[in-house]
Amino acid sequence: MKKILNKLLCSKNLQKTEMYKLMLLIGKKKINLSQISSIITAIKIKGIKKREILGLIQASWKLMKKFPKQKCKYSDIAGTGGDSSNGINISTSSALIAALLGFKIIKHCNESITSSSGSSNILQCFNINTQMSIESSKQMFNKFNICFLNAQKYNPIFKHVHQVRSELKIRTFFNIAGPLLNPSQPKLGVIGTYSKDIMFFMAKIIQKMKYKKIFLINSDKTDEATLYKPTYLVKIKNKKITSKVYTPSDFGLSWRIKKNIEKRSLQDNFKILKKIFKGKGSDEDNELIAINTSILLKIFGNKNLKKNTIDSLKILHSGKIYNFIKNISRVGEI
C-alpha cells in the first residue's frame, strides 16, 4: 500500500490492479480515515483515469452484497450529485412516477455528501427505510414496482469512505462511480452527470460494463434535464455511443427562465416535495420532474417524449404519489 500511496502523492496515475487493491483495503477497513482523506485528495488533485474507476468498480463487485437479479425489465435512475444545484430530488420523484405508471425501478441511493438532501435522506423523511432487508426490498419491488437500495448497506467501500467524504464536502471520483454500482445490476439506467465534460468519459467506462442501454444527461451543469437550457443526452446502447440535444419543445413544453435557488435544508426540500406529491406543486417544479421522468420512460422503449411528459404530469396533478409513498413506507413494518 505504501508504494501505491507514494505514487498518488507524486501525482502519478494508478494501474487498474493498483486501484483495485487499494479499494479492497478500504472496503476491508485496513486503511484509516486520514489515509482515505489523503487518497481522495491526491486523486482529486491529479484527476481520475478510466482504468482507476474500473479498478474501483471491480473491487466494489468483489465486496458488495448482491441484490438478486430480477427476471423482468427494470431500470435505475440516479445522479452523480456534486453539481451544487440545491434543487429538489428529481430522480427520486421520477422513479416514483414511473413505478405508478407500471415501470419497474430499482433505485440506487445514498445519503447526501455535497447536497442538502440525498435520495436516502429525503426517503427517510417520508418514512421509507432504505436500509431494509433484501427480503423486504423484494417484497416492495414485487408489490409496488419499485425499491430502494442504499449504497452503504450493500457496498462496504462506500460505507467506509462516507465519513471522510461528508467532512471534505467536495466532489470526488466516488460521484462518478456511485451510479454505476447498483447492487441489482440493472441492464437499463438513466444517470445525471454533474458536468457535460464527463459524459463521454463515463460512456467509455460504461462500454466496459454489462449494461444494455444507458442514458447520460446534463443540462446547465446540473445532473438532470432542465427547461431553461438545452439538455444533452449521451446514449450507450449495446456498447455503441451516440448523442443528442433536447429542448423543451421536444417534451411539448416552453422555455422557462432560470431561477437562482438559495441553499435549502433537507426539511425545506421535504416540504416542497410533499406539496408536489400531494398534487399541489408549482407548474415549474412539475414540468421539471415530468421531463426527467419522460427520459426515464424512454429507456424502456416509450419513445414519444411528449406523451411521456403528459402522462407524468397527470400523475403529478393527481396527488397519487403521496398515497403511494404512504403505502410503500409500510413495507418495512410487515
* In the predicted structure, residue 333 carries a pLDDT above the cut 60: no
pLDDT digits (tens, 9 = 90+) for 242-298: 999 999 999 999 999 988 777 788 999 999 999 999 999 999 999 999 999 999 999
As given in the structure block, the three cell numbers for residue 328 are 410503500
Please say whether the beta carbons of 183 and 154 come within 8 A.
yes
- Per-residue pLDDT averaged across 216-220, rounded? 96
Percent of residues, the chain, with pLDDT higher than 90 = 87
pLDDT digits (tens, 9 = 90+) for 12-45: 999 999 999 999 999 999 999 999 999 999 999 9
Q: State the pLDDT at residue 141.
A: 97
* In the predicted structure, residue 124 carries a pLDDT above the cut 90: yes
**Residue ranges of domains in the chain, CATH in brackets:** 2-63 (1.20.970.10), 75-333 (3.40.1030.10)
Q: State the pLDDT at residue 334.
A: 40
pLDDT digits (tens, 9 = 90+) for 150-197: 999 999 999 999 999 999 989 999 999 999 999 999 999 999 999 999
Alpha carbon separation from 235 to 22, 204, 206, 278, 298 (Å, rounded): 31, 11, 10, 33, 11
- Per-residue pLDDT averaged across 70-84, rounded? 89
As given in the structure block, the three cell numbers for residue 208 are 466496459
Instruction: Read off the pLDDT band of 145 (50, 70, 90).
Output: very high
Average pLDDT, the chain: 94
- Per-residue pLDDT averaged across 122-144, rounded? 95
pLDDT digits (tens, 9 = 90+) for 187-200: 999 999 999 999 99
- Per-residue pLDDT averaged across 206-223, rounded? 96
Please say whether the beta carbons of 273 and 122 come within 8 A.
yes
Instruction: Read off the pLDDT band of 85 (50, 70, 90).
Output: low
* In the predicted structure, residue 84 carries a pLDDT above the cut 80: no
